[in-house]
Amino acid sequence: MTPSIHPVLLCGGSGTRLWPLSRQSFPKQFSKLTGTESLFQGAARRLRGDGFTAPVVITGNDFRFIVVEQLAGIETAPQAILIEPAGRNTAPAVLAAALHLQALDPDALMLVAPSDHVVPDDAAFRAAVQAATARALAGDIITFGITPTRAETGYGYLELAAGADAQAAIPQSLARFVEKPDAATATNMLNAGNFLWNAGIFLFTAATLIKAFQAHAPQVLGPVQAAVENARPDLAFTRLDPAAWEGVPDISIDYAIMEKAANLAVMPFSAGWSDLGGWDAVWQESGPDASGNVSSANATAIDCEDTLLRSESPRIELVGIGLSDIIAIATTDAVLVAHKSQSQRVKEAVAILKARGATQATTFPTDHRPWGMFESLVIGSRFQVKRIVVNPGAALSLQSHHHRSEHWIVVQGTARVTVDGEVRLLTENQSVYIPLGAVHRMENPGKLPMVLIEVQTGSYLGEDDIIRYEDVYSRGQGPKG
């Protein structure tokens, strides 16, 4: 009987190439870029069902509740959620998952996949995984190679060994990994027919991977092993030890292991794949119309061709007239306009905005929290207006502020409000004043989302002006904990 496969979803990264929709505070894997589900939800759905265990997710501290919420949205319970104290690239993350799984099952079979890719044919991908299982159980490291459809310069490549079949339905011998090429090299490799795109998806046993780190990257193994052994539970999460993690090198799994190991094989896959590495890829995967245009619900294309027009807000109507090969993305606080051929340069714009101190570089006006979300509507020199949505049964922390007072006006549902020990219920159209320094909390005791408008006034309105006294989400101090 073939053992079950443990999906390992890598869920970190900032996705700056898809700015302004993807930002550090809410990266692309959590966004609905090409359908009704987020990329993360699509990845989790793809790797579940017969032959798969519940997923192991590796993510950062700020995303842990988003992971839980989005998995619940597709009725999937995680096997474990490992919290990285800081991003250290893919090698430490994958190794941490292997060590975690090996402690539970010495023969654990792992399928490692990024959570921000698109695979249109889930059944075909699961079939490819099953076809590669025997080689992985025999001790090989299987990487998945995508049949190239164009001379792409944004992907790494896999060169097949002599005699290997790029269209085979079983794993093939691999000659080498190839870094992202220039245009001429990419064209030559496409014409050669023995190169595949490197999808960054791997299948192996935990024991096989750990042996590979012992042989090729012992400098990574030591501190990651200590971080896993000294990990501590925190609600439904497992926090890797921060002290040990400080000594973990920042290195990719390709550099640490894949370019050195001899027991490699590649599983060809030709049923479609994209890492959505830029807006040109989103345009391509979104199904352009007869004129090559992709338009969102709040965007209109007039006499345009090969253009992506996307508005993320019903309050912003985006109109393009006479455009060709243009990408235009509008959010409530930022607009991107670029030639499609220049879409890979979006990260340059993000770097410039960061250097200028523009908040749009990293954060959204909408901020997701474990209890719900808030949206900044108006910001002035000494005031801010927010729309706050609290999920049914959820509660904000018991807290106070040094620099601001607040007015709360309930516009939907019922709020249970605590101010300096006094508890009262507020219904629609009722309000309450929170003086500076008062210890307060809001809760939603109802079965529907509760919405209120908050008006803050004071000398400093930053999210880090929060002192928490109690918190059901164990976030500690800081803007998000």
Question: Can you give the pLDDT of all 481 residues of the chain as single tens digits?
Answer: 678 999 999 998 777 899 999 998 899 999 999 888 999 999 999 999 899 999 999 999 989 999 999 999 999 999 999 999 999 999 999 999 999 999 999 889 999 999 999 999 999 999 999 999 999 999 999 999 999 999 988 889 999 999 899 999 999 999 998 888 999 999 999 999 999 999 999 999 999 999 999 999 999 999 999 999 999 999 899 999 999 999 999 999 999 999 999 999 999 999 999 999 899 999 999 999 999 999 999 999 999 999 999 999 999 999 999 999 999 999 999 999 999 999 989 999 999 999 999 999 999 889 999 999 999 999 998 999 999 999 999 999 999 999 999 999 999 999 999 999 999 999 999 999 999 999 999 999 999 999 999 999 999 988 889 999 999 888 878 776 5
Tokens, residue 93: 């993350």
Contact 167, 147 (CB under 8 A): yes
d(CA 389, CA 267) in angstroms, rounded, equals: 46
Half-sphere exposure of 218 (CA within 13 A, CB side): 2
Burial class (CB in 10 A: 0-12, 13-18, 19+), 478: exposed
> Cα-Cα-Cα-Cα dihedral of 284, 69, 16, 34, to 10°?
10
Contact 132, 124 (CB under 8 A): no
User: How many CB atoms lie under 10 A from the CB of residue 463?
Assistant: 11
d(CA 225, CA 25) in angstroms, rounded, equals: 29
pLDDT attached to residue 252: 94
The amino acid occupying position 177 is F
pLDDT attached to residue 481: 55
Q: Cα–chain-centroid distance for residue 136?
A: 27
d(CA 389, CA 386) in angstroms, rounded, equals: 10
Would you call 42 helix, strand, or coil by DSSP?
Answer: helix
Would you call 301 helix, strand, or coil by DSSP?
Answer: strand
Phi-psi region at 51: left, alpha or beta (left = phi > 0; alpha = psi -120 to 50): left
Phi-psi region at 169: left, alpha or beta (left = phi > 0; alpha = psi -120 to 50): alpha
List C-alpha distances in Å: 276 to 17, 22, 198: 9, 11, 14
Q: Give the chain's end-to-end CA distance (angstroms, integer).
A: 44
Contact 446, 392 (CB under 8 A): yes
Instruction: State the residue for tokens 């430490």.
Output: 92
d(CA 463, CA 471) in angstroms, rounded, equals: 16
Q: Angle 218-229/90-104 helices, nearest 10 degrees?
A: 50
Q: Angle 90-104/206-216 helices, nearest 10 degrees?
A: 130
pTM value is: 0.90
d(CA 280, CA 147) in angstroms, rounded, equals: 19
Contact 404, 462 (CB under 8 A): no
List C-alpha distances in Å: 72 to 9, 44, 68, 116: 15, 11, 6, 18
> Cα-Cα-Cα-Cα dihedral of 472, 475, 477, 481, to 10°?
-150
d(CA 457, CA 296) in angstroms, rounded, equals: 37
Longest dimension (CA), the chain: 77
pLDDT attached to residue 13: 76
β-bridge pairing 264-269 and 5-11: unpaired
User: How many CB atoms lie under 10 A from the CB of residue 57?
Assistant: 28
Half-sphere exposure of 283 (CA within 13 A, CB side): 23
Phi-psi region at 380: left, alpha or beta (left = phi > 0; alpha = psi -120 to 50): beta
What lies within 8 Å, CB to CB, of 436 at 6+ separation is: 401, 402, 403, 404, 405, 458
Contact 392, 444 (CB under 8 A): yes
Contact 24, 14 (CB under 8 A): yes
Instruction: State the residue for tokens 């399928």.
Output: 111
List C-alpha distances in Å: 13 to 34, 176, 250: 19, 26, 13
